[in-house]
Chains A and B, each alone.
Chain A
């Protein structure tokens, strides 16, 4: 039991800090740049992505091990995962629409865009590549989502501050955002070597 707990913890530390999906593996950059102008939307997006990522990580694992593998259809994994992700996103969209119309409005186009968030597909494919089991897939998906959320929320808090700073005109907006993302990535390199996973 303690072994499983340690594994779980190591996967979390690895995916949240050491191999952060956004800042170290550079996946999911579109929502990272696109939804980080305001803290509220960033938080909503983080929650939605956490939900989708964890769920799709598990679902895609199940589809792979229960459907694709027994029938020898591994070569269909990419297209199958895209389908699974689309379904999970649609489901999330319906839930958010019913439970929080305000958030639904704030997220706007970005909610359907989770479908094309490469981090989501990345997690599904990496699960297979790393031969993660069922529990590990949950931990991996959840850790990736927490790492994504951490980066996104911190980034949006900085961007709100930078938005009112006297940034030179050619660097305003996305340009200084990119510079900031680069410096955040630099900071996250400090975690290198914490976990060999």
Chain B
């Protein structure tokens, strides 16, 4: 076997933003497929609608800022933001909910701060949190998985779904197949113990598989991103670990009042957040140690908000809270630089 001898540099092609974004889009395919299979055409329609809006808003604001359109539009970052928002909002949310969300994400959270690479908050999560607070009714009406609605797959035909989203069909019609998510059920269970809730709730006893499958799909996408070295393991693993440790402690202590760790890991937006949201290189902490602190804190906050807060899933708020702490974490988690015996913590010295 003859080895090809080459001198450095061995990496001869920089990984462009557009390429990274393409790989992220590719990695979301399993998750989108799972969502479409279990919750109907809504997700796909929302994604296309959000992506169209995102490109339009991005083009408009670039025009206003007098920046070259082609260069900024072709990196695909607006489409990734739109996609992450579209998979987080309910599949049958009306069209204007998505429109408001995309506007907030692209114009306010991204371009007011100078555009790609300079936004301190994750645009998709800003939009989601704002929508959740402004339109709680629309945002908490998640679809029941097709196994529960009696008519089998798909949840609704393509044209009906389109009609429901763009407002030509009465609201009553799609109320019949929207329902509580597993996290909702467990959050609003009154005085029941975890086990009793589990037995009584149809969503938990029969429909939970759908959420497990969706989480597994996001997990697969995440592994792909890790394998392609688009993201590092630090933030996702520490987040999942922190969430699991918190859940195990409380579940072990009092299994009647708290959900088990597997439930926390495999429902809601846990997996989506772990691999696609908190790994955003811009709004998260920069150093590896910083990312571990960042991820672990998000995990703990998700558990706290899910268990005691007003919102059944605290992912968006947990991410935003740590986004706003990230610059501070960065200051105190700088790695040791070569030639110095200690890391330069805080502002220290002549910075």
Which A residues are closer than 8 A to B by beta carbons? 39-40, 153-155, 157-158, 160-162, 165-168, 171, 176, 179-180, 183-184, 186-194
For B238, what are the chain A residues with a Cβ–Cβ distance below 8 Å? none
Q: A190-B129, A190-B318 are in contact. Are A184 and B308 (CB under 8 A)?
A: no
CB distance from B250 to the nearest CB of A (A): 15
Closest Cβ–Cβ distance, residue B175 to chain A (whole Å): 26
Contact with A along B120-164 (1 / 0, CB 8 A): 110000100110010000000000000000000000000000000
Known A-B contacts A180-B120, A183-B126; A190 and B317 likewise in contact (beta carbons under 8 Å): yes
A158→B321 CA distance, assembly (Å): 12
Contact (Cβ within 8 A) A189 B133: yes
Which residues of B line the A interface, CB within 8 A? 64-65, 108-109, 111-115, 118, 120-121, 126, 129-130, 133, 301, 304-305, 308-311, 314, 316-318, 320-321, 323-325, 327-328, 330-331, 347
Residue among B120, B121, B301, B304 with the highest chain A CB neighbour number at 10 A:
B120
Give the contacting residue for A158; candidates B115, B120, B310; CB below 8 A.
B120
CA of A40 to CA of B331, assembled, Å: 12
Chain B residues within 8 Å of A179, by CB:
108, 112
Q: Can you name 30 A-B residue pairings with CB atoms under 8 Å?
A: A154-B324, A154-B327, A157-B327, A157-B328, A157-B330, A158-B327, A165-B113, A166-B115, A166-B118, A167-B118, A183-B121, A184-B324, A186-B130, A186-B133, A187-B129, A187-B317, A187-B324, A190-B301, A190-B314, A190-B316, A190-B317, A190-B321, A191-B317, A192-B309, A192-B310, A193-B308, A194-B304, A194-B305, A194-B308, A194-B309
Do B324 and A165 touch across chains, with their CB atoms under 8 A apart? no
Inter-chain CA distance A156–B204, complex, in Å, is 44
In the complex, the answer to whether B323 meets A187 with C-beta atoms within 8 Å is yes
Q: Are B113 and A167 in contact (CB under 8 A)?
A: yes
Q: Which residues of A contact B325 (CB under 8 A)?
A: 154
Q: Smallest CB-CB separation from B309: which chain A residue?
A: A193
